[in-house]
Amino acid sequence: MFITHNKVRMHDTDMAGILYFARQFRYVHDALEDLVEKEGLNFDYLFNNSSYVFVIVHAEADYLASLKVGDVLEIHVEVENMGRSSFTMSYKIFKADKTLVGKAKTVHVCLESKNRTKIPIPEDLKKIFGKYLVEK
């Protein structure tokens, strides 16, 4: 499991002063970027110089409790499933007091970067994401 942190900012909230529900997707994508960068990959390189990209084809989230400006978040990231050309990421968002406040999943498909056709998950990604694969 990979763990990272974030904080609810004023621009993340709605008129009621609580987290706008769609911001969960920003937090989980930030967590994915943190994981990828920790493993030595760089999104700029991946999307501009690599022979492949991985794109989100499905996303879902459950908003379990409100968050307000200043709340510190701990985000747990795991790989739930790895197929031939796709993988599913699972995220849990906790407040500092360990209350589970949100869950999300994203499904990613690997594409050849020039013509955007589906390809098998490249070995370097398998190695990286395999470290976070949930044992079933």
| Residues recognised as catalytic | 14
Contact (Cβ atoms closer than 8 angstroms) between residue 76 and residue 94: yes
How many residues appear in the chain? 136
How is residue 119 written in tokens? 């390809």
Q: What is the DSSP letter of 16?
A: T
Of 92, 113, 107, 118, nearest in space to 43 by CA: 113
